[in-house]
Structure 1
Amino acid sequence: MRRLTFQQQVWIPLCLALASLVVVSGFGLMQVRSTSLAERERSLRYAGDMAMSIVRRYAALADSGTITVAQAKREALSQLRALRFGEDGYVAVVNSEMFSIMNPAKPETEGKYLGDYRDADGNYVYRAMAAVAKAGHGGFVDYWTPRPGSSMPIKKRSYVEPYTAWDWAFVTGAYVDDIDAAFYRSLGMAIAFLVVIGAVLSTVVVFSNRRLVRALGGSPEYAKSVVRATAAGDLTLCIQVRPNDQDSLIFQIAEMQAYLRNAVVMIQRSAHAITLAMEEIASGNLDLSQRTEEQAAALEQTAASMDDLRVAVHRNSDDAQAAADHAQEAFVTATRGNEVISTVSETMHKIAKSSSQVGEILGIIEGIAFQTNILALNAAVEAARAHDHGKGFAVVASEVRALAQRSSASSRDIESLIQKSGEQVQGGSSLATDAGRCMSQILGTVQQVDDLMKHIAQASSEQSTRIDQMARALTQMDSVTQENAALVEQAAAAAQAVRDQARELLQSVSRFTVA
């Protein structure tokens, strides 16, 4: 089956719209005609009901004995003959034997047999009416008959209402040519309206199609083929654009294809570059991760060694502080010893001075002993001269001389001892002086040692503080290095993810074919 072109397809809505208008108009006209016929049939039914009510009233009078049945029929027919409705409507009465009982329009037919009467189409009209009456309920009968004073047959619709008690059938009729005329008149107006509307819509569709084709820049089939090729990844298709076309869909598709081609080329190049760069970054991140882990391990070992060194330096600082304390005690002891040596030296000088004074006293004692010895000699001489009278005095003089000699000998011994003691005291004083000088030197050395130990203790404390700071810094460096290692691993994972995405991007744009 041949497919419709776009130019043919754009006419389909117009044809459908016109067909819908035709159907709607026809349906409306049929509804109007049906409504008019229904109104006409209601008027016929109403006339039949009026005739039935008149007859029933007189039948009731006859049944009550007020009048006879014959009088009741005459009075009923008299009123039915005068009954009119509509423009030319009347009521006729026939029986089941198809005899005319009363017909105001054709009095000459009253009492005659009408079963053989045919209309212009050859239909037995009264036979049909009799059949409706025998059915026992009202019904309609259509036939063709001319109007009074005319020979042109016109369609007429009659309503038959039977009254079985008197074997009557009331026939009411009305011509329906005005309804058909109104229908055909409305049909002509509807056709004219449809023609005008069709012409206007056709004009609008023609101009709209031209504008649509101008806006499209070509047939939608061509645009669809171009879009299909672009969606399939073929960007090498040369799109045909009409001359001086700068705003149509085909032109915009061509522009889009050019932009897309440039974008795909740039994406492919960038994807290649990103893939290579991310591969290098991923490799570098892996190496950096390994080196960072090694550095973290080395830092951890360094931190452990620094912790041991910190403990050792703390111990050295404590030992240096203890040594400084001992040096301070030694300095205090040396100072006290220096003071004692100074006191000993002064005491030795005083002893030496006292020894010289004792020597002087011993000289005086030796002089006294010498003088006493001389006096004893003189006394002995005088005692010898005195003979017997001087014997006691001679004994005393002898004793005194012996005492003087012993005193002199003791003095000489004491002098010798004092001389030896003086020499020893002089040596002791020299030694005390030398000891004082040595103690002064020791005190200076101890003071230097104390100062040095203080400096060492202070330096050890400062070293301990700095080593603590270095240990904390190494701990922080170790923590930061561990975090850096984790970040490097994350960066490596991110680089690998970006590399995979770049590969996927490259693979996704590789379906596009560019020149």
Structure 2
Amino acid sequence: MLKIVTGSIARRMSALLLLFVVGFAGLTAYQLTNIHNNLIDLKKAEIKSVIETAVTMLGNYDARVQAGEMTLDAAQTEAKAMLHAINYSGDDYVFAVTHDYVMIVNANPAVVDTNMRDRTDTNGKRFIEEYTDGARTQGSIFTTFMFSGANPDAPAIEKLTYVQNFAPWSWAIGTGVLQTDIDAIYQENALSSALIALGVIAVLMLAGWLIVRSLTKPITALNGQMAELADGKFDITIQGTGRADEIGAMARAVDVFRDNGEKIAHMTQAEAARILRDEETRKEMMTELQSAFGSVVDAAAEGDFSQRVTADFPDPELNALASSVNSLVKTVDTGLAETSQVLSALANADLTKRVEGLYEGAFGRLKDDTNAVAIKFSDIVGRLRDTSGQLKLATGEILSGANDLSERTTKQAATIEETSAAMEQLAATVTQNSTRAKSASDNAIASTRSAEEGGVVMAEATQAMERIATSSSKISNIIGMIDDIAFQTNLLALNASVEAARAGEAGKGFAVVAVEVRRLAQSSAQASTEVKALIEQSALEVRGGTRLVADAAAKLDEMLDGVRANSELLEGIARDSSEQASAIQEVGVAVRQMDEMTQHNAALVEEINASIEQTEGQAIQLDGIVEIFSVHQAPAEPLRHAAPPRRKAAPAYRAQGNTAIKMDDWESF
């Protein structure tokens, strides 16, 4: 290190240039690393946005199905066509696979409607099973696998894939991006940055080489010409007399010496003798001058600009020359010292130093270039400092919101667990009520059947009573005819008695028979009258019984109608209770799924918190790195503070019923 500091001008300036090149290359490598990481994050956000949009559109189709606007098959057919039509970034596409690993949407028609569970990549990884199960259990998943496309003989390429679950249809929707696409973009940016860095380094190295050459070459040449003048060679041309800097002043002073020496060579011999004496004196002076100048120039050639011409010459021109040399060395020493201080400060992370001296020519350009480098580094560090401050502010706000969300998610999970338990208890109660209502309905059906059978018996009894009444009426008619026959027989017996009486003794026997016949006719008439009276009484009783049976049948029909109505009501209650039990079970399943999703959301919030804390730690590390640099407190672009998040209207929750949410637990949600 000491050898470089005390070495030649070229070595010292080359070391400064090398120091700058190394620092610039390190900064470029750091920027390329950030570009690669940011590019991967950008691609992740891009494919995630595409899938979230697709899932939202699927949700719209499902909402139309739930609203009865279209059938499930029609909605799924349109959804598949919509997913197949999505194409972005050239050849990137969206695929869909069922929870049973059947590929239903893919850019390759050969795999559609095929079970892909056993499909593996070149590393033997069952990637379709992995990302389908991951999306189903976690909601969404990022994964990578080796992708060979439709051609299995093609070389496999790593593919970054994002898959999200769509639970209503048991689908998993995903898309991916090839690592070669990311690498192509990165290589393009890296090549541009590398070319720019190489261009800047080349320009700076060329400028440094030209500056070093513009200083060392004329000084070395002027030193050689001064040696020739000391040897009496005056026919030379002094180089650099047209320069406007200190080297030009030195060259013009040496040219004066050359002119004077040449004049002395053309004088007379007397004058020559005098001049020879003077020349001897001048030679001594030149020797002293060469000694004085030589030590200064040699030291300057070796990089030591602390030496000065200290001799006092009787010749004012020599003193002027010495003064010019001292001025040149001082200018070079001051310029290089200031430049070295600035570059050393840059190497030590102090960006406040500048080259303050007034310089012209090459040193003026060196001053401008050095100060431009320092200003550019100060601007970069200032922007990094502002960026890290904004990053810490944003991560702090996000972390606060995430913690609040985590607490509320935990409360929501507890409430959903309570709701799930209540729904299970309600489902058990409704199921028991459904069973009892079914039993009551069965009893009512049996009662209805018995009542219907009683109605049939009453109808048959009514018909039998009607037939009895008809038979009684017919018997009464027959008895009437018998009564008429007995009356006629009595008349005939009476006539026979009269005729027998007229016949006298001859008609006595006939009269006895007629009397007997008459008595029998009278007995028959009396008996028929009694039977008729009994038959009529029986008919009257039968008519009363028929009326009573008809009334009983009517009442039984009314009872049967009531029993049927009750049976229908009980059947409806049993059916409604069964449907209600099924609906409550479905609600219970939905609540359990909501509970699982809430638990998953809580886990995701914890992961987000950890990521944000890690990002905040990285921002603090970046602050620590930036704080190493010292910069001017110049007015900078004001920090853009993150806008406060908009407060959304609190959602309305049920305040009554089994699904009511305790308001004291959700006041701030």
- TM-score, normalised by the number of residues in structure 1: 0.49
Q: Which has the larger radius of gyration?
A: 1
| Larger RCO (CA under 8 A, 6+ residues apart) | 1
